[in-house]
Homo-oligomer: A and B are copies of this chain.
Amino acid sequence: MASSLEKAKQNPDSMKAKILTAARKIFGQYGFHGTTTRMIAKAVDIDISTLYYHWGEKGDLYEAVIMDVSEGMRQKLIEVEKIIKGRPLAERIRIAVDEMADYLFEHPEISNLTLFRYFTKTRHGSILDFKVPEYISDIAYSMGLAEDRKNVPADAKMKVLSIMNSIHNFVSGEKFFRPMMKMDREEYIKAAKDTLKFFNLTAFT
C-alpha cells in the first residue's frame, strides 16, 4: 500500500511533491510555529487552499516532512554501511563522517528538522507526537560498539547520539558558526569534517 507520502515522491514534478519539498525547506528554517502555510504556498506559487487540498492540515504536512527526511536518513545510512563494510575501523570512521557530512550539508533541512524535533516543544504536542524510528542502535552496531543489533548497551547509544548530533550541529549551525570562523563554505565543511574525525578517531582507534 503506497502511503500518501510515497505517492507524492513517485513523481517529483507533481504538485504534492513540490509542496513537500518546499515545506521541508521552510519548516527546516523556521520550525513548526515559525512557518505559516502561506509561506509554503507562496514558495510553490500556489494558493493556500491548494496546499490544504493536497496535504490537509498543517500538522499533517509537517508529519509528512518528518517522515520524508527520516526516510532519507535511513537510506543514506544503509548506503554508508554498505561502503564501509569490512574495512578497518579508522577508515570506516573517516568514510562515514565524510559521507554523512556531505549528505547533510547538501540537505541541511534534515539536520535542522532533526534537531528541532529533539529540542523543541510544540503547542499541539499530542497531534505532533507521532513516532519516528531512530537508527542509533544500527549505527552503534555498524561501528562495532555492539555484538548484537538488538541489544546495544546504553553507553554505546549515548556515544552514537553524541556523534550524530555533532554532525547535525555543524550543519545546522553553519549560518551562525561560519562567520565566527571567517571561512567560506568549502573551508567550513572541511573544518567541520576534520573536527569530527579528530574526536572520533582518537576516541575509537
Give chain B nearest CB distance to A113 CB in angstroms: 10
Q: Is A147's beta carbon under 8 Å from chain B?
A: no
Chain B residues in 8 Å Cβ range of A117: 176
Choose the segment among A8-16, A29-37, A72-80 that binds chain B (4+ C-beta atoms closer than 8 Å).
A29-37
Chain B residues in 8 Å Cβ range of A172: 118-119
Q: Is the Cβ of A162 less than 8 Å from the Cβ of B34?
A: no
Q: Is A151's beta carbon under 8 Å from chain B?
A: no
Q: A123-B30, A180-B157 are in contact. Are A198 and B203 (CB under 8 A)?
A: yes
Chain B residues in 8 Å Cβ range of A30: 33, 120-123
Q: Is A173's beta carbon under 8 Å from chain B?
A: yes
Q: Is the Cβ of B166 less than 8 Å from the Cβ of A29?
A: no
Chain B residues in 8 Å Cβ range of A166: 162, 165-166, 169
Chain B residues in 8 Å Cβ range of A32: 34
Q: Is A126's beta carbon under 8 Å from chain B?
A: no
Q: Is A154's beta carbon under 8 Å from chain B?
A: yes
Q: Is A194's beta carbon under 8 Å from chain B?
A: yes
Which of B122, B136, B177 contacts A161 (CB under 8 A)?
B177
> In whole angstroms, how far apart are the Cα atoms of A182 and B154 in the complex?
9
Across the two chains, which residue of chain B brings its CB closest to A137? B180
Which of B34, B180, B196 contacts A136 (CB under 8 A)?
B180
Q: Is A183's beta carbon under 8 Å from chain B?
A: yes
